[in-house]
Amino acid sequence: MTSAMIGYGRTSTADQKAGLESQLRDLQAAGCSKIFREEISSVASSRPELERALDYVREGDVLVVTKLDRLARSVADLMAITTRLRDKGVELRILALNLDTSTPTGKLMLHLLGSIAEFERELMLERQKEGIAKAKAEGKYTGRVPTARRQADKVLALKRDGKTPAQIQTELGISRASYFRIVKDALGSNAVSTN
């Protein structure tokens, strides 16, 4: 069975032609016999050329990319792609990192990269929680923007002052539906008159 080097290159927009051309040159220089390419953001819901490349590769092949960020959008995405490749008996090579999963060192590096990224995410979430707790303790944490129902007293006061529904909605930045819901609730509890 003969193995093949299959390349994948991606840029975020059509304006990055030079970046894509550079990737294609590097992939050809690495010995790729077939190259899939696309101009699409990594956050796009689908990357059809990457899907085609993943479907195309066969056991013994090597999928080659120039950089990690050209292939995966997150650690979870990277792990899903590498699992899919491993299940097909396909190795991954990332040129900029000199990473080749056909070697024990390459496999270790890939797992370390994934672990480090996961660790960084957990640290970030922990710092975020600490920051929120500190802001709450100092009385600086505001939380969510108040909803229209929290402004019911203001709505009813402005209504009693003779303001029109449109004026009240504009002044308080609430929707028409919110205004009438507040008034209806108040009428139900006899809090305001019907006029």
User: Where in the chain are the domains?
Assistant: 5-116, 148-188
pLDDT at 19: 83
pLDDT at 195: 44
pLDDT at 2: 66
Q: Which fold has domain 5-116?
A: Rossmann fold (3.40.50)
pLDDT tens digits, one per residue of 14-26: 556 778 899 999 9
List the chain residues with pLDDT less than 50: 191-195
> What would the two tokens of residue 56 be?
């195309």
pLDDT at 192: 45
pLDDT at 134: 86
pLDDT at 191: 45
pLDDT tens digits, one per residue of 140-153: 776 665 577 788 88
- The catalytic residues are 12
Separation of alpha carbons 111 and 118, rounded Å:
11
Task: Give long-range contacts, CB 8 A cutoff, 24+ apart: 102-111.
Answer: 102/62, 110/78, 110/82
pLDDT at 194: 43
Q: Which fold has domain 148-188?
A: Arc Repressor Mutant, subunit A (1.10.10)
Separation of alpha carbons 87 and 72, rounded Å:
18
pLDDT at 69: 83
